[in-house]
Amino acid sequence: MTRLDSVIRRLMTQRSLLDWASREIGHKPGLVIELGLGNGRTYDHLRNRLPDRDIYVFERSIAAHPGCLPPDGKLIIGDVFDTLPVFASRFGAGSSILIHADLGTGDQAENEKLAARLSPMIMPLLAPGGLMLADRPFDLPACTDVSTQAGVEEGRYFAYRR
């Protein structure tokens, strides 16, 4: 498989999973969190699929397409390890119905460390029945891996339900 084929497959899986999650959460109460804005593609997709939801986006430094920036108050800039605890104390445990994490680098070992560090910060934010979607595995002991229910190829993308 070429790198182009791989990225196309990843983006198609990501779109499919975001669509599935949007249907799954329905009208259940809770915030949506996007960890990593990047160029804004998945945020733009989520705001289209979930127009009535409050979507909070965390990003270290902005490099997104100008049309894909969250409104004032919904974009949280800085290191996620500094900003996510402040957010959690503001909104409280169980405040999020959907969390999507697509952040990291091309370094697999660093990405694993990132997921290991983020897992205990994410866990308390998830509401009962809430979903966590990620481009890498997370250690969320109070959650069930529902990736296969979402139709995701094993190891391609990850979906967890609290």
Q: In the numeric block, which tokens belong to residue 152? A: 């995701």
Question: In whole angstroms, what is the distance from residue 136 CA to residue 149 CA?
Answer: 17
Q: Among 3.40.50.150, 3.40.718.10, 3.40.50.300, 3.30.1050.10, what is the CATH number of 3-161?
A: 3.40.50.150
Per residue in 71-127, pLDDT (tens digit) is: 999 999 999 999 999 999 999 999 999 999 988 777 888 989 999 999 999 999 999
pTM for the model stands at 0.95
Per residue in 25-80, pLDDT (tens digit) is: 999 999 999 999 999 999 999 999 999 999 999 999 998 999 999 999 999 999 99
* Domain segments of the chain as ranges: 3-161
Write out the DSSP string of 93-134: TT-EEEEEE----S-HHHHHHHHHHHHHHHGGGEEEEEEEEE
Instruction: Look at residue 156 in the predicted model and tell me its pLDDT.
Output: 82
